[in-house]
C-alpha cells in the first residue's frame, strides 16, 4: 500500500499542478475531516492522513485527498483526486474524478459531469449514477449499473454491464497490461496505463486466483438491461456472456486472447523435482522397510536378467489385467454360485470378500505401477555401485535407490525420453516381479542363492536354469 500511495500521490501532484485554474488552497489534517452540510469552501481542499473525510457541503475548487475512507455526499465544483481504502461518491462532481483504492462506489445519486478515471480492486456504479463523459477503469472487477454518457475503456478480470453506455465500449478481461493501447486517445492512453500500474495487487495477478467480493463471473457479462449505443470491442480468452435482451447498436468485435502459461523458474523446477524425488523415495522406503525380502528379490531379478525382465514385463502386465478381471468377476460370480448350490447365506459375505479383494488388488497394482516400479528399477540401477544391495539388506537398498532415483527423475524431464523411461521402467518392474514370483513357485525361497538343499532336490536341467 505504501508504493501505491507514492504513485498516486505523485500523480495527484502532477495533475494538480497542471490545473488550468490557479486558486488559493485550504489544507486540513486530523483523525476525521468533515465538511458540514452548510459549509462552503471557496477554493481547493487538500486533506491528508485522516481515517475518514466526509464532504457534505460544497467545495468550489478541487478536492485532493489521501485518507483511509473518502465520502463525498455534497458538491465539488472542481475535480476530485482521491486515494483511499474505500471511496464513496453519492454527491456531484462538476468536473472529472480520478480515484484509486480498494473499493470504489458511485451511489445512486452520484453524478460526475466529466470523466471518471478509477483504479482499484472493485468499481461499482449503482443504478441511477451518471458519468457525464468517459469512464476509464483498471482493476479486478467492475459492476456498471449506472449511465456513462460517452465511452468506456477498461482492464479488469470481470466486467458486468447492466447500465447504458452512450458510445463505444472497449474492455479487456485477460488481466494483461496491453490494453487497447492503439484504440485510446493519447492522453487517456497514458493515464489508463498509469492507473493500471497503481491498481492494488493487480500487477502479476493470476486469472482465476482472485476471489470475487462482488460475486461476478469472470470475463465480460452484459445483462438484459445493458445498452451500448456504439461499438462493443472486448479482448478476452472466453466469449462474453450477452443476454438476449441486451442492446448493442454498433458492431461487436471479440479479440480472443490466448492465455500463455509462463515457464517455471529454475527455483520452481528444482523444488518440483525435489518433491518428485522425495515422493518416490518415501514410497520406496516403505517397501524396503516392510518388504525387504520381496523388494530385494525383484531388484535382483531385474539386475541379473534385465532383458528377460523387459520382455516378461509384457507377460506380467497381461497377467495383472487378467487377474484383475478374474477377481472382479468373483463379485458377481461367487454369489451366483452360492445361490445355485442353495447356500443363500453365503451370497452376501462372498460378495463382500470379493469387493475387498478387488480393492486391495487394484490398490496394490496402482501402487506398484506408480511408485514401486520406479523404486525397484532405481535400486537395480543403483546396484551398479552398491553391489551388496539385495534381499533383506535395507541400508544398501536405500543407498542404491537414492543413487538410481537421481537419474530416473532427471530422465523424466527430457522430452520424449520421459515417455520411453516410463515404458521401460514399467516393463522391467513387472518383468522382475514375474521372475521373482516364478522363483517363489519353483524354488520356495528364491532370495537365498546359497540354499544348496533346495537346489539339490531339483532336476539337473532346472538346477542349471536356476544357476543361470
Q: pLDDT tens for residues 62-107?
A: 999 999 999 999 999 999 999 988 999 999 999 999 999 889 999 9
- Among 209-223, 256-270, 310-324, 327-341, top mean pLDDT goes to 310-324
Query: Looking only at Cα atoms, what is the longest distance across the chain?
Result: 116
pLDDT at 404 over 70: yes
The angle subtended at Cα 134 by Cα 178 and Cα 122, nearest 5°, is 65
pLDDT at 365: 85
Mean pLDDT of 262-270: 80
CB atoms within 10 A of CB 76: 27
Task: Give Cα 338 to chain centroid, integer Å.
Answer: 52
Q: What is the pLDDT of residues 375-403, one digit of tens each?
A: 999 999 988 888 887 777 888 888 999 99
- 184: confidence class by pLDDT, cuts 50, 70, 90: very low
pLDDT at 215: 77
Mean pLDDT of 428-437: 89
Grid cell, residue 299, equals: 531388484
pLDDT at 278 over 80: yes
pLDDT at 340: 67
Contact 171, 151 (CB under 8 A): no
Contact 328, 441 (CB under 8 A): no
Half-sphere exposure of 372 (CA within 13 A, CB side): 23
CA–CA distances in Å: residue 445 to residues 389, 437, 448: 18, 10, 6
Q: Where are the domains of the chain?
A: 2-256, 266-467
365 or 18: which leads in pLDDT: 365
| Strand runs labelled E in 107-165 | 111-112, 116-125, 130-131, 135-144, 147-148, 152-155, 158-161, 164-165
N- to C-terminal Cα separation, the chain: 74
Mean pLDDT of 13-23: 43
Q: What is the pLDDT of residues 190-235, one digit of tens each?
A: 555 555 454 444 433 333 333 456 778 888 999 999 999 999 999 8
pLDDT at 195: 52
Percent of the chain past pLDDT 90, that is, above it, reads 36
Which region among 156-165, 198-207, 338-347 has the lowest average model confidence (pLDDT)? Answer: 198-207
Helix residue ranges per DSSP H, 199-346: 266-290, 292-304, 306-340
The candidate with the shortest Cα–Cα distance to 131, out of 145, 114, 108, is 114
pTM: 0.53
pLDDT at 185 over 60: no
CB atoms within 10 A of CB 221: 20
H or E, element range at 400? helix 394-411
- 460: confidence class by pLDDT, cuts 50, 70, 90: low
The candidate with the shortest Cα–Cα distance to 291, out of 358, 368, 363, is 368
- 346: confidence class by pLDDT, cuts 50, 70, 90: confident
pLDDT at 105: 94
Q: How does DSSP assign 163-201, residue by residue? A: SEESS-EEEE-S--S--STTTS-HHHHHHHHHHHHHSTT
pLDDT at 13 over 50: no
Integer Cα distance of 51 and 106 in angstroms:
20
pLDDT at 213: 67
CA–CA distances in Å: residue 180 to residues 156, 219, 222, 241, 344: 13, 16, 20, 21, 75
Q: Is 239 exposed, middle or buried (0-12, 13-18, 19+ CB in 10 A)?
A: exposed
Residues 6+ apart with CB under 8 A from 357: 327, 330
Grid cell, residue 138, equals: 483498471
pLDDT at 230: 94
pLDDT at 426 over 60: yes
Grid cell, residue 334, equals: 461367487
Integer Cα distance of 65 and 59 in angstroms:
13
Mean pLDDT of 272-287: 89
Integer Cα distance of 398 and 379 in angstroms:
8
pLDDT at 217: 83
The candidate with the shortest Cα–Cα distance to 14, out of 143, 216, 187, 271, is 187
Integer Cα distance of 326 and 255 in angstroms:
55
pLDDT at 169 over 90: yes
70 or 464: which leads in pLDDT: 70
169 or 350: which leads in pLDDT: 169
- Among 6-20, 56-70, 167-181, top mean pLDDT goes to 56-70
Task: Please list, residue by residue across 283-319, b when 16 or more beta carbons sit within 10 angstroms of its beta carbon and e when fewer do.
Answer: bbeebbeeebebbbbbbbbbbeebeebbebbeebbee
Amino acid at each position: 500500500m505504501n508504493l501505491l500511495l507514492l504513485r498516486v500521490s505523485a500523480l495527484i501532484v502532477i495533475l494538480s499542478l497542471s490545473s488550468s485554474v490557479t486558486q488559493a488552497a485550504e489544507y486540513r489534517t486530523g483523525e476525521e475531516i468533515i465538511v458540514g452540510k452548510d459549509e462552503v469552501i471557496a477554493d481547493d481542499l487538500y486533506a491528508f492522513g485522516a481515517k475518514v473525510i466526509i464532504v457534505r457541503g460544497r467545495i468550489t475548487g478541487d478536492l485532493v485527498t489521501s485518507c483511509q475512507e473518502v465520502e463525498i455526499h455534497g458538491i465539488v465544483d472542481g475535480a476530485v483526486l482521491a486515494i483511499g481504502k474505500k471511496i464513496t461518491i453519492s454527491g456531484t462532481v462538476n468536473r472529472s474524478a480520478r480515484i484509486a483504492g480498494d473499493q470504489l462506489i458511485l451511489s445512486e445519486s452520484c453524478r460526475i459531469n466529466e470523466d471518471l478515471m478509477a483504479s482499484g480492486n472493485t468499481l461499482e456504479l449503482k443504478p441511477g449514477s451518471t458519468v457525464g463523459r468517459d469512464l476509464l477503469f483498471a482493476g479486478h472487477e467492475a459492476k456498471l449499473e449506472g449511465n456513462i454518457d460517452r465511452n468506456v475503456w477498461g482492464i479488469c478480470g470481470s466486467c458486468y454491464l447492466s447500465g447504458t453506455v452512450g458510445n463505444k465500449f472497449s474492455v479487456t478481461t485477460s488481466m494483461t497490461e496491453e490494453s487497447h493501447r492503439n484504440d485510446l486517445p493519447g492522453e487517456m492512453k497514458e493515464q489508463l496505463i498509469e492507473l493500471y500500474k497503481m491498481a492494488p495487487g493487480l500487477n502479476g495477478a493470476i486469472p482465476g486466483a482472485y476471489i470475487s467480493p462482488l460475486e461476478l463471473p469472470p470475463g465480460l457479462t452484459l445483462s438484459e438491461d445493458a445498452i451500448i449505443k456504439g461499438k462493443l470491442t472486448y479482448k478476452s480468452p472466453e466469449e462474453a456472456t450477452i443476454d438476449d435482451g441486451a442492446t448493442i447498436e454498433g458492431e461487436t468485435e471479440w479479440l480472443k486472447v490466448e492465455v500463455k502459461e509462463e515457464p517455471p523458474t529454475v527455483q520452481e523446477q528444482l523444488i518440483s523435482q525435489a518433491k518428485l524425488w522425495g515422493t518416490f523415495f518415501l514410497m520406496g522406503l516403505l517397501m524396503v522397510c516392510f518388504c525387504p525380502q520381496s523388494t530385494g528379490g525383484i531388484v535382483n531379478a531385474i539386475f541379473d536378467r534385465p532383458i528377460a525382465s523387459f520382455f516378461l514385463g509384457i507377460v506380467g502386465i497381461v497377467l495383472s489385467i487378467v487377474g484383475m478381471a478374474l477377481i472382479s468377476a468373483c463379485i458377481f460370480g461367487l454369489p451366483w454360485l452360492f445361490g445355485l448350490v442353495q447356500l443363500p447365506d453365503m451370497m452376501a459375505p462372498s460378495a463382500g470378500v470379493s469387493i475387498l479383494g478387488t480393492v486391495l488388488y487394484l490398490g496394490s497394482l496402482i501402487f506398484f505401477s506408480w511408485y514401486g516400479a520406479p523404486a525397484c528399477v532405481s535400486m537395480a540401477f543403483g546396484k551398479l555401485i552398491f553391489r551388496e544391495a539385495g534381499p533383506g539388506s535395507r541400508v544398501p537398498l536405500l543407498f542404491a535407490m537414492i543413487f538410481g532415483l537421481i537419474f530416473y527423475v532427471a530422465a523424466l524431464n527430457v522430452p520424449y525420453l520421459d515417455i520411453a523411461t516410463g515404458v521401460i521402467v514399467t516393463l522391467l518392474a513387472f518383468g522382475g516381479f514375474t521372475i521373482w514370483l516364478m522363483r517363489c513357485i519353483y524354488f520356495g525361497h528364491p532370495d537365498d542363492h546359497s540354499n544348496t538343499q533346495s537346489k539339490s532336490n531339483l532336476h539337473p536341467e532346472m538346477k542349471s536354469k536356476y544357476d543361470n
